[in-house]
Amino acid sequence: ELVVQTKKLGAEIQPTMYGLFFEDINYAADGGLYAELVKNRSFEFPQHLMGWNTYGKVELMNDGPFERNPHYVRLAYPGHDHKHTGLDNEGFFGIGVKKGEEYRFSVWARLPQGGAGEKIRIELVDTKSMGERQAFSAETLTIDSKEWKKYQVTLKPGETNPKATLRIFLASKGTVDLEHVSLFPVDTWNGHENGMRKDLAQALADIHPGVFRFPGGCIVEGTDLDTRYDWKKSVGPVENRPLNENRWQYTFAHRFFPDYYQSYGLGFYEYFLLSEEMGAAPLPIVNCGLACQYQNNEAKAHVDVCNLDSYIQDALDLIEFANGDVNTTWGKVRADMGHPASFNLKFIGVGNEQWGKEYPERLEPFIKAIRKAHPEIQIIGSSGPNSEGKEFDYLWPEMKRLKADLVDEHFYRPESWFLSQGARYDNYDRKGPKVFAGEYACHGQGKKWNHFHAALLEAAFMTGLERNADIVHMATYAPLFAHVEGWQWRPDMIWFDNLNSVRTVSYYVQQLFAHNMGTNVLPLTMDKKAVTGAEGQNGLFASAVFDKNKNEYIVKVANTSDKAQSLTLNFQGLKKQDVLADGKCIKLSSLDLDKDNTIEQPSAITPQESSVSMEGNTFSTELEAKTFAVYKFAKK
């Protein structure tokens, strides 16, 4: 029997409680959420023609119109009408296009030798086609100026193709220069020109996230400091955002993606805008002067504490970029990009997964400077455990000493950990910093992929976060996205290929918590004992909340055991006039514990909703084995 005490509302649940963690890992940004379909569009990969296949007379030039991206290509007449000069782009694991949809091809171009006009032909081709024609969509553009200019044309393919090639070739006899070659679906999420892939952004918005953390993860730190995420390079005109290496070219799973770079096309402006449009509080993380902890024994991994000024200034400028008046330097950059109003930034994270003693001594000057300039901003420090489960006991006292507002903890741990940590926060010091469970996912022992059982245990663990909402203020599953052909890390919340995406059971667990988070925790007892979550009680993990806005009681129960269990929900302390109406139950259940949704079977396991009836203020049911259930009862 679960007894919910309704008389006195418990701790307030923060609006930021359930959110999203975004990092460009597994091709989550370029090749994923960022809707650009051309790889190496500015010819700035270290091997400048990576992703391109050239033919005829193509020359690489380096005095282009964009200072930070100086390379471009020059196409000259090959000397015979039956020969071609041009180049093909392979996209990210191919270019996915859908029949009937519109795609905006754009390019910066000029006629280096002047003249009346030269033509380029733009085609979407299926190079493997056995038919009469490879091209299934084609347009011609006339380049008509000696000066650099942006040209664009819309392609409307007559067929769907997950792995097309973009082909551009000279269709007249002169010479043409091309730079920043881009192909975007016209129909991006919320219609932004430099926008996001619709199905992927929609999946994020459908969670109703309360907080959006970006841009990582390890890429904040970089493999070395030269390749750390530098937010200042990620704003302003996209044509002039420089390329950065992606720390996830290399992965611990011995997978190597030599062509994985960050175009910064999805930059801090886009992240702030996405947060705003999803209704989530933006939470940027900045580098604290340390490179990725896995690499920090190498050169260029540390900035001495006395040399941190420019890093600290980056953090202060970021706050100005987000919130500053349009008359401030960085507020003006934001306004010029189209958003004069503040992005209402309230949180900033400093450092990611730095577990050594060198971290607090670097965090300290950041905290001092941010507090002085922006006492209104809450600062997030970080702590363990690491992926082996090692807790770094000296870090929490340091976070307390430095008065960090929140501490970011990460858990990529096996089943046994998730089953034993339901009570993790029951005894945390209520007077210290609050908790941000900033990255977590159940990594099954010997089952490092998405499966139902992992998601069920995440739900069980999350009841512990919820019961402790007085101290746990944010929680974000990680990683968020993975391309089926380009992943470096599993499991992940949303998988996709070039045309489709799939929401995993872990996604639905996150969504059920976020949609049913309530406003206040309620005390709960199970068989007369306070619910602690330690090992579960009979394998049951539970939490209860009240939603003031909907006048609704919500109880979440994860039955991690092998047996169906009788369950009685008893709502005690209700006032006489507070009669509970019949309610709803939403369940995630599967007897096949290894199963999950896939691109081929995206709806194998989805939340199932049914009506349930109350007797008085009590509800009785039998909760199936291996099932997560959310029960909701509104006051009549």
Chain contacts with ligand AHR (rule: CB under 6 A): 23, 25, 216-218, 352-353, 410, 439, 478-479, 489
Question: What is the closest distance, in whole angstroms, from the C-beta atom of residue 400 to ligand AHR in the complex?
Answer: 22
Q: Is the dihedral of CA 335, 338, 339, 345 positive or negative?
A: negative
Q: Are 233 and 302 in contact (CB under 8 A)?
A: no
Give 352 or 378: the residue with its C-beta nearer to ligand AHR. Answer: 352
User: 268-278 and 309-323 are packed helices; what angle lies between their axes, rounded to 10 degrees?
Assistant: 40
Give 10 or 414: the residue with its C-beta nearer to ligand AHR. Answer: 414
Question: What is the closest distance, in whole angstroms, from the C-beta atom of residue 218 to ligand AHR in the complex?
Answer: 4
Give 195 or 479: the residue with its C-beta nearer to ligand AHR. Answer: 479
Give 321 or 489: the residue with its C-beta nearer to ligand AHR. Answer: 489
Give 317 or 439: the residue with its C-beta nearer to ligand AHR. Answer: 439
Residue 636 to residue 629: CA distance in whole angstroms = 22
Q: Could you write out the DSSP letters of every residue in 9-59? A: --SBPPTTSEEEE--S-TTSTBTTTB----TTTTS-SSSTTTTEEEESEEE
Q: Are 405 and 433 in contact (CB under 8 A)?
A: yes
Contacts of 342 (CB under 8 A, 6+ apart): 322, 323, 324, 331
Helix, strand or coil, per DSSP, at residue 264 = coil
Give 18 or 412: the residue with its C-beta nearer to ligand AHR. Answer: 412
Question: What is the closest distance, in whole angstroms, from the C-beta atom of residue 328 to ligand AHR in the complex?
Answer: 31
Q: Residue with structure tokens 């892939």?
A: 197
Give 439 or 596: the residue with its C-beta nearer to ligand AHR. Answer: 439
Q: Residue with structure tokens 């370029």?
A: 30
Strand 281-286 to strand 347-350: parallel, antiparallel, or no bridges (unpaired)? parallel
Question: What is the closest distance, in whole angstroms, from the C-beta atom of residue 382 to ligand AHR in the complex?
Answer: 9
Scanning 84-228, the segments in alpha helix (DSSP H) are 198-205, 218-221
Question: What is the closest distance, in whole angstroms, from the C-beta atom of residue 217 to ligand AHR in the complex?
Answer: 3
Helix, strand or coil, per DSSP, at residue 554 = strand
How many degrees, rounded to 5, is the angle at CA 234 between CA 233 and CA 238? 105
Question: What is the closest distance, in whole angstroms, from the C-beta atom of residue 291 to ligand AHR in the complex?
Answer: 13
Q: Residue with structure tokens 């690489």?
A: 60
Q: Which residues pair with 635 in a beta bridge?
A: 580
How many degrees, rounded to 5, is the angle at CA 207 between CA 321 and CA 463? 110
Q: Are 205 and 190 in contact (CB under 8 A)?
A: no
Residue 536 to residue 520: CA distance in whole angstroms = 22
Q: Report the residue number whose CB is nearest to ligand AHR.
A: 217
Helix, strand or coil, per DSSP, at residue 496 = strand
What are the catalytic residues?
353
Give 23 or 409: the residue with its C-beta nearer to ligand AHR. Answer: 23
Question: What is the closest distance, in whole angstroms, from the C-beta atom of residue 336 to ligand AHR in the complex?
Answer: 31
Helix, strand or coil, per DSSP, at residue 5 = strand
Question: What is the closest distance, in whole angstroms, from the C-beta atom of residue 220 to ligand AHR in the complex?
Answer: 8
307 HSE (CA, 13 A, CB side): 5
User: 198-205 and 268-278 are packed helices; what angle lies between their axes, rounded to 10 degrees?
Assistant: 50
